Amino acid sequence: MELHEIAKKTIDGTRGPKGFPDKHIKAKPFSHAALVIQLTLGMLAALSIYGFATFDYKNINLLDSIQSTAVTIKTMFLEPHLKHFTFGEALMQVIITLGLAFLTTLFGAVIALFLALLAARNLSTGTASIIIKAGVTFIRAVPTVLWVLIFAVAAGLGSVAAVIGMTFHSVSYLVKAYSESFEELDKGVIEALKASGATWWQIVFQAVIPSSVTYLISWTFTRFEINFAVAVAMGAAAGAGGIGFDMFMASGFYYDVREVGVVTYFILFFAVLLEILATRIKKKLRAKV
């Protein structure tokens, strides 16, 4: 068969001799990944529509409620006032919330560092790694507020239960993040150190931690940002104190929209501040690498 015939047959879509690749080049090749993407998107859309159809709306008028929410938000942000606490007191409460977030992040980071070393597959045994990762997955699956409330039974509502409960969740989050950065370390480095007779602690402190320290710091700051938001929520939901509790009192107790506005401004200011700080630090760390 002449070459041009083979070419023609291939273009025509019939299988050439000797197992020539068949058919045209497809503009969009079919792949497993594409199918899974379409299925997932379809499922999400279908479940959302099913959800909207079955929700118990309790006869609320959607348009009226949206309108009144808009009015609420407008009053909140444009006419904020202080009534049940002063500016200084509110500032102090935000600092307490920051303190809760700081303590939680610090405890979480220290505990997570050790657990992550045991959970990283390249530094630990297979069994230890699997046990820790499974435990951590379970802890992460329980929402933080439930951890706080469970500890509140033993320790009473307050900062102790909040810090311990939030630490649980931080540990599980950071163990996952840390151990994944440890696992990224080049296998050759550990092997070379092992061959030269370095002990496990020497490998960890001279190679593993120095080479992943930028990731560790970056993840810790991300968690600090999250913990601030969580600390606000815990103040509201679990009586942990801080600005969240003031917000809960203003909205659920005094029904004072304008005071909620003040609290929201405080939270917003500090959250944005933390975000800018975290972005700065991450950028600086990335430039160093």
Partner 1 sequence: MQANFFARKRRNSFIYYVLLILATVAAITITDYNVVKGFTSIPKAAEWAFQNFYPNEKAMKKLPAIMDSLIETVLVSIAATTVASIFALLFAILGSNTTGVGGVVSLISRSIATLFRNIDVAAWSMILLFSFGQSVMTGYFALFFGSFGFLTRAFIESIDEVSNSSVEALRATGASYFSIIFQSVIPSSIPQLLSWILFMVETNIRQATLIGILTGTGIGFLFSLYYKSLNYSSASLVVLVIVAAIMLIEAISNYVRRVIL
**Angle at CA of residue 200, ends 137 and 221, nearest 5°:** 45
279 binds partner 1 (CB under 8 A): no
Among 8, 79, 81, 143, binds partner 1 (CB under 8 A): 143
Among 7, 11, 146, 277, binds partner 1 (CB under 8 A): 146
Residues 33-52 that bind partner 1 (CB under 8 A): 33, 36-37, 40-41, 44-45, 47-48, 50-52
Binding span for partner 1 by CB under 8 A among 56-64, 81-89, 113-121, 195-203: 56-64
Residue 84 CB, nearest approach to partner 1 (Å): 15
55 binds partner 1 (CB under 8 A): yes
- 77 vs 200, which CB is nearer to partner 1? 77
- 18 vs 26, which CB is nearer to partner 1? 26
164 binds partner 1 (CB under 8 A): yes
Cα 159 from chain centre: 23
Residue 159 CB, nearest approach to partner 1 (Å): 5
Among 192, 213, 268, 277, binds partner 1 (CB under 8 A): 268
Residue 134 CB, nearest approach to partner 1 (Å): 10
Alpha helices for the chain (secondary structure H) = 3-12, 32-54, 62-78, 87-119, 126-141, 144-155, 159-183, 187-195, 200-203, 209-238, 243-248, 257-288
**Direct distance between the N- and C-terminal alpha carbons of the chain, in angstroms, rounded to an integer:** 59
252 binds partner 1 (CB under 8 A): yes
- Longest Cα–Cα distance of the chain, Å, equals 94
Among 11, 130, 192, 272, binds partner 1 (CB under 8 A): 272
- Cα distance between residue 32 and residue 5, in whole Å: 34
91 binds partner 1 (CB under 8 A): no
216 binds partner 1 (CB under 8 A): no
DSSP 207-249: IIHHHHHHHHHHHHHHHHHHHHHHHHHHHHHH---SHHHHHHI
Binding span for partner 1 by CB under 8 A among 4-12, 112-120, 203-211, 251-259: 251-259
Residue 76 CB, nearest approach to partner 1 (Å): 7
199 binds partner 1 (CB under 8 A): no
77 CB-contact burial (10 Å; exposed 0-12 / middle 13-18 / buried 19+): middle
Query: What Cα–Cα distance (Å) separates residue 274 from each residue in 98, 100, 153, 221?
Result: 10, 15, 32, 9
170 binds partner 1 (CB under 8 A): no
- Cα distance between residue 259 and residue 76, in whole Å: 7
- 141 vs 287, which CB is nearer to partner 1? 141
